[in-house]
Amino acid sequence: MKQLQFRLAARTDAAGKYNAEAPLEGNEDNMYVDSNLSNNAQGEFMADQVVDLSDKGCLMVVADGMGGMNAGEVASDIAIKTVTSYFSPERMAETSFRDSRARCKYLEQVVEAADEAIKNDARRDKEHEGMGSTIILAWLCDDEICLTWCGDSRAYLFRPGKGFWQVSKDHSYVQGLVDDGKITIDEAFDHPYGNIITRSLGDPEKRAKADSKVFPVFEGDIFMLCSDGLSGVLRDHKTYDPDGQRIDNENLEDIIDANRHSMTDCRDALFAAAERNDWYDNVTAIVCEIVSGKPLPANLNEPPVSYPTPKVAHPEPLPGSDGEMINPSLPPRKKHLPLIIALAVVLLAGGGVLTWWLTSRYSNNNAEQRFFENCVNSNDYRTFLKLYPDGKNAELAKAKLEELYQDSCDKANNAKGLVDANQIQLKDEPKPEPKPEAKPEAKKEEKDPKKVNEKEKEKEKEKEKVPSSIILVPASTDNKDNKNKLDKKGYDLKPVGKTITPTQSAPAKNEEEAYNRCLKSNSYEACADYLDEWGKDGKKNEGHFNSIRSLFSKLYKAEANACDTKEKCEQFLRKHDGIMKKARMFGSGIDGQTKKIVRDKLAELNKGNGEKTSQDNTSRHKTSNGTTIKQPGSSLSKVKE
C-alpha cells in the first residue's frame, strides 16, 4: 500500500479579544499538534514539512475556553494538558489501538477526563467557577481520521474539485433549530443566539458527552479544525441573493482552494480574511493536507459519509467441533443466505419506520418544550401559541397569557386611580368584612371644623403638586420625549388624553430573568443593564456574564456601524463612555474599536458637509432600534463568547 504522507500548519491568536494585560493576551483558545505519536517527543511539528505517517499516527486538537479571560484560558489549558498526559509516550506504549473503534473510544475517555479535571479545578478555586471549554480532536492513523468533539469547535473537509463540507456537528441551540427544520443552515450563520452551546467541558450540571466519527482519507484531502472565532465570521461557501446573483463575500471554501499549494499560506490567508471581516473572538485553525495516500475512487459518494460504526478487526478463528478452524467473519452457508437477507430487510425497514416516527415526534416535542420553558412575557406566549396552537403546553400558555393580561390591567387601572386599591381582590383572598357604622359621636368628630380645614389644606397641597390637567401614568417604554419629568415613583407627568403606555420596564427580579431579557430583546442597552447589575463580584454567573458580554460587543459594534449622519455619530460619541462603563468594558478592545469606527465616519462626514456616508455599512446584526446592519465585507456562541 502507498505510504501515507501529510503536511500541516497551525496558529492561535487572541484576535478580536486581544488584551495585553490579560493572561495569554486575552487568548482563551488553545491547541495541540503532535505529528508523530510513535516517538518520545511530544507536540513537535514543522509547518509545511512533508511527514511520513507513523504507526500510531498524528494528533490535532483545538480547545476554545469560556468563562472570562482569567478562567476561560485556564479551562482550555487544563483540557490540553489532559490530552498531552493521555498521549504521553509511556501511556501510549501501554495501550493497544487495534482499530478506529479503539481509537475513538480512547478519545472519548480523554474528553471525559478533561471534563472532570476542569470541574475539580473550579471546585478548588472559586475564581474559576463557571469556566468551561469546547474541544475537538482529530487522530490521523492508517488511512482514516477519527474525529471526537464536544461543543461547537468544528472540523471541515476540502476535497479539490469535489467540494467543501463541515464534517462535525455543533452542539448548540441554533443547530437544534436547524435539525428541527425551524431555520436553514444559511440563517444559522448570523443567528443572534449562535453563541449558546448545549454541551461543553466543565458544565457543572452534567457530564460531558462527546460525539465521534471516522472518515477514510484520500490523496489531496485537506482537513481543518477551527474554533468559532473563524467559522463565526467567514461563511462556509459562496452566498447568493434571492435573484441568484453572487454576493461578494469571502468564504472558507474559496480561501482554502486558492491557497492549497501551501498549508502555511492557507493558514495565513484564513486569518487575514477573518481580520478583514471584523473578527471579534479568539481564532485558532489547524490545516492538514494528505500529500500522498490512496487515490480518490471515481464512484465515491459525495458529500463524504463517515463509517456507520468504526471498523473492528476480525477476531481470531475459533476451533470447530470437527477440529477445523472456523472464522466467524466468513459468510454463512449459502442455503440459509436468502432467508437471512429477507429477514434483515424486514427488520431494517421496520426499524427505519419506527426510528422516523420516534424522531419526528420527539424532536417536535422537545422543540416545543424548550420554547415553552423559555417564555417569560406575554409576547413569548403569543408567539408560542402561533407556532404550537395544538401543542401539549398550549392550554398552559393560554392560561399564563390570560394571567399576565389580567395582572397588567389591574396594575394599570390602579395606577390611573380607576380602581380603588381596596376593591382589588385576589381570587384566593376572602372578601373583607363590612365596616361597622360609625357611632354618632364619631360622626360629630368628623364634622369638626378644624379637621375639615386640615383635610382641605391637604387637598390643596396635592393640587399644587400635580396640575389639574395632568395625571400620573406608568412610564412608557415607547415614549421618545426625553423632556418628560419623572416623579419619585417613576411615573410620567403627561397631559390628560395622551396615550398611556409603560419609559422603562420593571427591573429584573433575578439574574436569570435579566439574562433572558437581554437575549430576547437583542438590544445592547438591555445587555449593558445586565452587565452593570449582575457583573459584580458575588453576583456574577461566569457563563451568562461572558455570553452577554460577547453579545453586547456584537450588537454595539453594529450600532457603531449604523452611524451614517453627523448627528448620529456625535450622539453616539457623547453617550459612548457612559455605556462602556455601564457594561464594564471601558478601555477594552470593543471600546477602542467602536470609537474608532464612529470617529472615522465622523471625519468622512465632516469632509462631505454632514451628508450620509456612501459606504455600505449593512451588517449581520440588528441594532437596538431594530435596524438591520451589515458590516463591510461581511456577507455570530450554556452560552459562550
pLDDT value for 362: 54
Place of cell 436553514: 184
- Residue 318: strand pairing partners: 326
- In angstroms, rounded to a whole number, what is the distance separating the alpha carbons of residues 224 and 33? 13
Low-confidence ranges of the chain (pLDDT < 50): 309-335, 415-431, 439-446, 465-504, 614-638, 641
- In angstroms, rounded to a whole number, what is the distance separating the alpha carbons of residues 75 and 63? 9
Decide: residue 128, CB within 10 A, 0-12 exposed, 13-18 middle, 19+ buried.
buried
- Residue 285: strand pairing partners: 11, 226
- Residue 84: name the closest of 31, 157, 127, 120 by CA: 31
Q: How many helices (H) and strands (E) does the chain have?
A: 18, 17
- In angstroms, rounded to a whole number, what is the distance separating the alpha carbons of residues 144 and 296? 13
Q: Are 302 and 163 in contact (CB under 8 A)?
A: yes
Backbone angles phi, psi at 354, to 5 degrees: -65, -40
Residue 57 is given by DSSP the state -
Place of cell 490545516: 287
| CA 600 to centroid of chain Cα atoms | 31
Place of cell 398611556: 500
pLDDT value for 367: 72
Residue type, 218: F
* Grid cell listed for 138: 482529530
pTM of the model: 0.53
Spatial CB neighbours of 97, under 8 Å, sequence gap ≥ 6: 56, 103, 106, 141
Backbone angles phi, psi at 495, to 5 degrees: -60, 145
Backbone angles phi, psi at 135, to 5 degrees: -155, 145
Helical residues (DSSP H) of 245-393, grouped into ranges: 252-258, 263-276, 337-373, 378-387
Q: Report the first-to-last Cα separation within the chain, whole angstroms.
A: 45
Per the rule left: phi > 0, alpha: psi between -120 and 50, beta: everything else, 175 is alpha
pLDDT value for 495: 37
Instruction: For CA atoms 454, 455, 460, 462, give the dihedral sign.
Output: positive
Residue type, 526: A
pLDDT value for 75: 95
H or E element, residue 568 = helix 566-582
- In angstroms, rounded to a whole number, what is the distance separating the alpha carbons of residues 36 and 33? 9
Return the half-sphere exposure (C-beta side, CA atoms, 13 A cut-off) of residue 584.
17
CB neighbourhood size of 40 (10 A): 10
Residue type, 321: S
Residue type, 447: K
H or E element, residue 464 = helix 449-465
- In angstroms, rounded to a whole number, what is the distance separating the alpha carbons of residues 317 and 424? 85
Q: Are 204 and 122 in contact (CB under 8 A)?
A: yes
